[in-house]
Each structure stands twice: as structure tokens, then as C-alpha cells.
Structure 1
Amino acid sequence: MTPPLATPDTVEGVDLLDAPGFDPDWQTVVWNDPVNLMSYVVHVFRTYFGYSEAEATRLMKGVHHDGHAVVAEGMREQMELHAQAMHDYGLWATVRKAPRA
């Protein structure tokens, strides 16, 4: 006879935003460069992030005119994955702590 599987303890009423180590306040920032065409940047934002044509174009214009644009916000590990993906596409991207409001 097989012993019953142990079940994890469940804690009711825990807010994950207050959990230790949970810090969703990170951003992936794409920076302007003299190499990539604006149409290519739009293509990358649409392909990788799934942004609409309008949103991808808005973000690309931020990169082009302001020198950078925040393309994603969330947990640090995920933002680092996004930045690496942007590097793989040939774009310059960094991860930063989101400014406090």
C-alpha cells in the first residue's frame, strides 16, 4: 500500500504583493541606436511582445524621439529575459528599477 501524498499547507488571505521577494517594480527599456530602422523596431515589438501596430509604433516613436521607451514592466527576472530577447534582435535594452510614483 502506498502512503498518501503530503499536501502543502495552504495559507488563506495572503497578499502576494506583500510576499517576501515579490517586487514587480522593474522595467525593460529599449534605447535608440543609429543602426536599426524604425520599421524593424516596430516589427520586433509586434513579434516579441505582441503589441498592436499602433502601440508598437507609439513605443518606437518614444525610442526614436525621446531616446528610449519602457516596453515592459514586471518582475526583475522577466524583465531581464525581455532585455536579452531585445539584444538577440539587435536592439539595445536595459533593465531598471521603476521610479517611485
Structure 2
Amino acid sequence: MGMMAGLATPDLDIERETNLSAAPPSSWQTVVWNDPVNLMSYVTHIFRTYFGYDASTANRLMLAVHHDGHAVVARGPREVMEAHVQAMHDFGLWATVRKDPA
């Protein structure tokens, strides 16, 4: 077997080169859209049972969906928001993921 020569590594200030300061994860939104199919009571029920919102918050979000055409029902990492959107689709609600502008 032959000997392998050692690899030379430059003397780098790792923290300076990579800027190790912690950056917050990108924030995304789960948006539920109004539709002509689902009853307002059903939408409120889904917000309460799936997201765990209290009755007042679930009702406020449902009314935003109804009157404004949509409501942001959750914020967080993209993968989590995609899972929420899939769950809303499974419940028959229209939902999308979008980048949080804040």
C-alpha cells in the first residue's frame, strides 16, 4: 500500500469566514382561502381541532376567511406550513403556503 500525502489546510479564521451568527429561520405562512363549499361552522371547527385555537380565535380567523377572502392561520418553517396546507386540503379547505412578508 502506498502512503498518502497529508492535505495542507490554510490557517483560516473560521468564524470570520463563515459568519457563524445565528440567523432566524425563514418564516412562511399557511393561508386559508374562502370557498363556496364549506360552512363557516365547519371552518371554525377545523381551526379549533387541528390548530388548537380557542373558540374566539377560531371564529375570528373564520370570519376573516369569509369577509376578507383569506386568513393567515399559521406561521413558521416552510416544511411545517406545507404540512398544514396538506392537512387543510385533506379537510376540504382551500389553502396555500406563502413567504411571510414581515
Task: Give the TM-score normalised by the residue count of structure 2.
Answer: 0.77
Distance 1:15-1:46 versus aligned 2 partners, 3 A rule = farther
Residue of structure 2 in register with 1:68 after alignment: 70
Give every structure 1 segment of 4 or more consecutive aligned residues whose post-TM-superposition deviation is greater than 3 Å: none
**Structure whose CA Rg is larger:** 2
Q: Where does structure 2 lack aligned partners over 5 or more consecutive residues?
A: 1-19
* TM-score, with structure 1 as normaliser: 0.78
Pairing partner for 2:84 from 78, 82, 96: 82
Amino acid at match of 1:91: L
What's the Cα RMSD here? Answer: 1.4
Calculate percent identity across the aligned residue pairs.
70
Q: Distance in 2 between matches of 1:15 and 1:47?
A: 38
**1:35 matched to 2:28:** no
After TM superposition, list the pairs within 5 Å mapping 1:21-60 onto structure 2.
22-23=25-26, 25-60=27-62
Question: How many residues align structurally?
Answer: 83
Unaligned regions of 5+ residues in structure 1, if any?
1-13
